[in-house]
Amino acid sequence: MSRPEDTAPSLRLDDRKALVTGAGSGIGAAAAGALARAGAEVVLLGRTRSGLDKLAAEIEASGGRALPLVCDVTDAVAMREAIGGLDSLDILLNNAGGNIPEPFVDVSDSHLDSLLSLNVRAAFQVAQAAVRKMLERKDRQLRGGTVINVTSQMGHVGAPNRTVYCMTKHALEGLTKAMAVELAPRNIRVNSIAPTFVETPLTKPYFTDGDFSKWVLQRIPLGRLGKPEEIAWAVVFLASSAASMITGTSLVVDGGWTAQ
């Protein structure tokens, strides 16, 4: 007879519902696909209907389950209504975010406000709405829940022309720790994933600059950019029972950038 401690943890997410913000492309789209392949029903939240519908069709064609949900996370009223309207929720990938690289002395009030609104305020409010939904379940204590905040290696270090971005991602790392401590008694785990530069539509324009590309690659000991799927499977791990004792930490997927 096998003992409970002899049972290998699973990366399967069957009978779980996951919400992915910023799901239309890049890391969000890759993570949504990976969560679906692991068995989760995935709610795809983003601003553009066409991208969400395309991704949902791809997931369903592969045997998965996906629901497109068009919403701007910076619209708190609409976002809360959208998340509150879900029948249940087990996993949040809090992924929506942005960056406006520019010198510190040139940062305008409008750019500062825009990034604070998206990367900090909206991330907080999405997490709050998602946790409220998780806590509605009568079997929550037994079932548990998972929040994964997508931060950045820049939430652990600094870099030129990224003062606001670094500030917002450091803030999200702090939020992750505080949420983890407060929600642990409710059996909700909270972690972050901190990627290095990843090949996505958002980052592609940056790498048309040869000097910038060289600067980045010289700082990644593995010598290459990350791939969306490499972040996606880290998401699946943190969402799964294989990570059942992990909360309040940051999984840095950076090719060694922050080890130096």
Catalytic residue numbers, as ranges:
165, 169
CA dist 32 and 92 (Å) reads 11
Written as one letter, the residue type at 166 is C
The contacts of residue 174 (CB under 8 Å, 6+ apart) are none
Residue 121, helix vs strand vs coil: helix
| Pair of tokens at residue 236 | 């699946």
- What separation in angstroms does the CA of 236 have from each of 30, 155, 170, 233? 11, 21, 23, 5
Residue 117, helix vs strand vs coil: helix
CA dist 237 and 247 (Å) reads 12
Residues in the chain: 260
Kind and range of the H or E element at 134?
Answer: helix 123-134
| 226 CB-contact burial (10 Å; exposed 0-12 / middle 13-18 / buried 19+) | buried
The number of CA neighbours under 13 Å toward the Cβ of 27 is 29
- What separation in angstroms does the CA of 128 have from each of 27, 148, 163, 222? 22, 13, 26, 36
